Amino acid sequence: LNIDALADALAIAQHHDAVSGTEREHVAADYAKRLSIGYAEAEKVVASSLALLVDSRLSSRHEDAVTKFQQCPLLNISYCPPSEAALSNGKSLVIVVYNPLGWKREEAIRVPVSTEGVIVHDSDGKEIESQLLPLSNASLSIRNYHVKAYLGRSPGETIKYWLAFSVSVPPLGFSTYIVSTDKRAGSSTISEVYTSEGNK
């Protein structure tokens, strides 16, 4: 594994034409391709690094662990096959959250899921507060259009919610969270939705 293509992508991302959009269309397309190649290479390096960090015992089965970690570069269009599929096929979803900054961060993260009745635990087994937000029609439309446009296929799994939950991540470190299905009370709170139209 190396990061030569990432270095190329980083150089492009800092080029004045790429930042300001003063390049020709076919050059923009070339930039996008090179950024994507850099991202794909970096994704493999990150998966490999996280596999070693999460459990050093995995190193003997390193190749296996690397292939198991996936990222979701299309979260901006609500598209994340690993988070959508895991819960619908009866498995638990494991999310490793890495903090690249030198201070502790407490934030909420969001992943698309296709089922309600889910529960989130941290690596100590403590239940974590979570919330389901219904996916709006506008978000679904954006997702469907762009998956078809850029990936050339139907989005497949129908997601229904964004699952938001609180994470606490140490400086330059990681935390692990497990999302599983749980139909009992105490699972994720579904958001209350209010709509007003004009004076109604």
What are the structure tokens assigned to 90, written together? 């009866």
Residue with the two structure tokens 């594994």 = 1
**37's tokens:** 């190649």
Using the rule CB under 8 A, is 186 a contact of another protein? Answer: no
Asked whether position 117 contacts another protein by CB under 8 A, the answer is: no
Total site size for another protein, rule CB under 8 A: 79
Q: Mask of contacts with another protein, 130-159, x by CB under 8 A?
A: xxxxx-x-xx--x--xx-xx----------
- Of the residues 5, 37, 40, 46, which one makes contact with another protein according to CB under 8 A: 46
Phi, psi of 143 (to 5 degrees): -60, -50
Nearer to another protein among residue 60 and residue 100 (C-beta): 100
List 5, 8, 23, 114, residue binding another protein (CB under 8 A): 23
At 14 the three-state DSSP class reads: coil
In sequence order, which residues have a C-beta less than 8 Å from that of residue 147 and are 6 or more positions away? Answer: 74, 77, 79, 153, 154, 155
Give exposure, 176-200, as e/b (b: 16+ Cβ within 10 Å): bbebbbeeeeebbeeeeeeeeeeee
Residue 6 within binding range of another protein, rule CB under 8 A:
no
182 binds another protein, rule: CB under 8 A: yes
Return d(Cα 80, Cα 35) in angstroms, integer: 20
- Asked if 52 is part of the footprint of another protein (rule: CB under 8 A), the reply reads no
Answer yes or no whether residue 194 interacts with another protein by CB under 8 A. Answer: yes
What 3-state DSSP class applies to 81?
helix
Among 98, 114, 115, 157, binds another protein (CB under 8 A): 98
Which is closer to another protein, CB of 1 or CB of 190? 190
- The distance of closest approach from Cβ of residue 144 to another protein in the complex, given in angstroms and rounded to an integer, is 11
Residue 160 binds to another protein (criterion: CB under 8 A):
no
